[in-house]
């Protein structure tokens, strides 16, 4: 009888040990899976951070030779390339399709001026980290002084922007270029009036447009 009880006790002990081992194995497996998930997430964040683009506006009124030239540029201050999808430029809340239309609206003067505006459509291209790309240049000439000075004033206080860009992993953001805020979006919205379209020029407007 005692031998039977001992065997029963040993069987119950063995079953208990087996259950305990199973529970420990399950706990170890869960913790390992959690640790792996956290490691994968951390690696994904590191990769995303290493490829993060961030666009800013770079604006000045003098070129590399010291000549008075207003220039507006997109600058990628991030660490990864930026795919520029859409670009919009506004003056007092209204979107303009090109530099000619913008200058005629914001800065027309009594002075009959010849134009010297260079533009590059700031969309559908890749801007590498640390690089800049000028999308508008306006050189000061003897016959456009009033218009040039007016545009030099409004470029700070009255122009605004909306740009949508994506990383190499197709993570996309919308930015207004003038602050450190970039709103994540699932896809870039289609602008009603994209900036950068080539304007039709009349014969008496010596507008030099470079692509």
Per-residue pLDDT 10s for the chain (211 aa) are 555 555 565 555 556 656 566 666 666 666 656 555 555 454 445 544 567 999 999 999 888 788 899 999 999 999 999 999 999 999 999 999 999 899 989 998 665 666 667 778 788 899 999 999 999 999 998 888 999 999 999 998 899 999 999 999 999 999 999 888 899 999 999 999 999 865 443 434 433 333 2
Which pLDDT does position 55 carry in this prediction?
A: 96
Q: How many other CB atoms are found less than 10 A from the CB of residue 194?
A: 18
pTM listed for this prediction:
0.71
Give the H or E element holding residue 145: helix 145-157
Determine the straight-line distance between the first and last CA of the chain, rounded to whole angstroms.
Answer: 101
Q: How many other CB atoms are found less than 10 A from the CB of residue 208?
A: 13
Residues 97 and 192: beta-carbon distance below 8 Å? no
């Amino acid at each position: 009888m005692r031998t039977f009880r001992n065997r029963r006790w040993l069987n119950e002990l063995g079953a208990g040990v087996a259950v305990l081992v199973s529970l420990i194995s399950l706990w170890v497996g869960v913790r390992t899976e959690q640790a792996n998930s956290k490691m994968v997430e951390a690696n994904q964040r590191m990769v995303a951070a290493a490829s993060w683009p961030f666009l800013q506006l770079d604006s000045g009124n003098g070129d590399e030779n010291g000549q008075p030239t207003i220039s507006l540029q997109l600058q990628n201050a991030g660490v990864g390339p930026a795919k520029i999808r859409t670009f919009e430029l506004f003056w007092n809340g209204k979107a303009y399709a090109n530099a000619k239309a913008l200058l005629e609206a914001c800065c027309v003067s009594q002075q009959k001026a010849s134009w010297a505006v260079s533009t590059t459509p700031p969309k559908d291209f890749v801007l590498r980290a640390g690089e800049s790309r000028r999308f508008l240049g306006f050189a000061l000439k003897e016959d456009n002084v009033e218009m040039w000075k007016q545009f030099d004033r409004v470029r700070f206080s009255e122009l605004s922007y909306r740009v949508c860009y994506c990383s190499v992993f197709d993570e996309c953001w919308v930015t207004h270029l003038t602050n450190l805020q970039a709103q994540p979006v699932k896809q870039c919205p289609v602008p009603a009036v994209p900036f950068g379209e080539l304007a039709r020029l009349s014969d008496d407007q010596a507008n030099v447009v470079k692509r």
